[in-house]
Amino acid sequence: MNAVQEAAEVVSAQAARIVPVPKINARDLPYEIFLRDYVATNRPVVIQDAAPGWSALKTWTPEYFKNNYGSQTVEVTYGVRQKLSDVMDGVLASTAEKPGPYLHKVIIHQHMPALLTDLSPENTYAFPRRYCSPLMPKRFHRPDGYLKLLIGGVGGKFPLMHFDSDNAHAIITEIYGDKEFVLFAPEDTAYVYPHENSPATSQIDDLDHVDLNRFPEFPKATQYRVVIGPGEAMFVPSRWWHSARVVTTSVSVCTNIMHSTNWAGFIDISCENTGGGIKPSLLAKRLYLLVAGMVMGLVESIQRNWPGTSIARSLGYLSPINPEARRTP
């Protein structure tokens, strides 16, 4: 193929259908409507002004992290550990041509718990939170919500296009700067070329320069693109492929949502029988998860239908549908 043909191939890759992700202000998107129209239908949306009470929106700048956490050594990306002041220098020097580091391995409650007060009250759209439930099997139990800190400079990006494990939905709330998301629906999985031995990650790592010799079907995929800014939360439904790229130096947080809409898929994944044959332990696990899911579903509907009652308050911690329920002992 000559250079002209190559250029034409890149253009045709970029010409794949691009659809904007809807943005809706939180005042026009009550939580129940969010659940009904986006979570239950597994469609992406950006919620504007999703966490208006967060003081982080005023204080979390790159300088803030450098000044307050600069001496802390953190895991930046897979297996790479560095002092945060060095990471922040790299982030601030990052350019589209020479992207710096992208921090995505810091779990806030574990590594920088003092930051949690800046994220209070919690983003109400980041619920229900079955991960917090004591009924969740130990391996998946995340009492804190597993809130991740994400920081990158211009051109920096989350290292992989992927979908989240456990059939989880994700919600990423931007605090400082702007970040672009590109999403692909689960129906387009074949067109984004999952790795054979890692089926939740794509072989395509640069969406603007897709090699059509290797990935000829890519133009058949529909790209859902959106840039989010401070206060905006990107809802990524379960099994949706997503990649994130920094537009202007960016700080955000990310967590997962698990409830009735993605529970059946979670059971299938966590009880997958890779070896063949009947495995009684897997059948028992499946049965446990089915019953636990029913109990949590009941608790969620009690909280929805009788909010504020003592039964909703005393059971809410089994599957909190909002931050208040989570705090109930």
Ligand X SMILES: O=C(O)CCC(=O)C(=O)O
| Piece in contact with ligand X (CB under 6 A), picked from 2-10, 85-93, 164-172, 275-283 | 164-172
Total residues binding ligand X (CB under 6 A): 12
Nearer to ligand X, 233 or 299 (CB): 233
Among 46, 150, 168, 171, binds ligand X (CB under 6 A): 150
Q: Are 219 and 212 in contact (CB under 8 A)?
A: yes
Query: Residue 106 corresponds to which tokens in the numbers above?
Result: 């810091």
Q: What is the CA radius of gyration of the chain?
A: 21
Kindly state the smallest distance separating residue 290's Cβ from ligand X, in Å. Answer: 27
Question: Cα–Cα distance between 153 and 126 in angstroms, integer?
Answer: 25
Q: Are 25 and 49 in contact (CB under 8 A)?
A: yes
Kindly state the smallest distance separating residue 109's Cβ from ligand X, in Å. Answer: 15
Of 165, 174, 170, nearest in space to 268 by CA: 165
Among 136, 172, 253, 296, binds ligand X (CB under 6 A): 172
Nearer to ligand X, 13 or 150 (CB): 150
3-state SS, residue 118: helix
Q: Provide the residue type at 220 as one letter.
A: K
Among 9, 89, 122, 164, binds ligand X (CB under 6 A): 164
Kindly state the smallest distance separating residue 203's Cβ from ligand X, in Å. Answer: 17
Pairing outcome for strands 223-228 and 198-202: unpaired
Which residues 177-196 are close enough to bind ligand X by CB under 6 A?
179
Nearer to ligand X, 151 or 312 (CB): 151
Binding mask 241-270 for ligand X (x = CB under 6 A): -x-x-------x-x----------------
Of 227, 229, 160, 176, nearest in space to 66 by CA: 176
Query: Residue 44 corresponds to which tokens in the numbers above?
Result: 């992406």
Using the rule CB under 6 A, is 148 a contact of ligand X? yes
Using the rule CB under 6 A, is 142 a contact of ligand X? no
Sign of CA dihedral 151, 319, 265, 278: positive
Question: Cα–Cα distance between 133 and 143 in angstroms, integer?
Answer: 7
Question: Cα–Cα distance between 206 and 229 in angstroms, integer?
Answer: 22
Using the rule CB under 6 A, is 239 a contact of ligand X? no
Which residues 70-129 are close enough to bind ligand X by CB under 6 A?
104
Site residues (vs ligand X, CB under 6 A):
104, 148, 150, 158, 164, 170, 172, 179, 242, 244, 252, 254
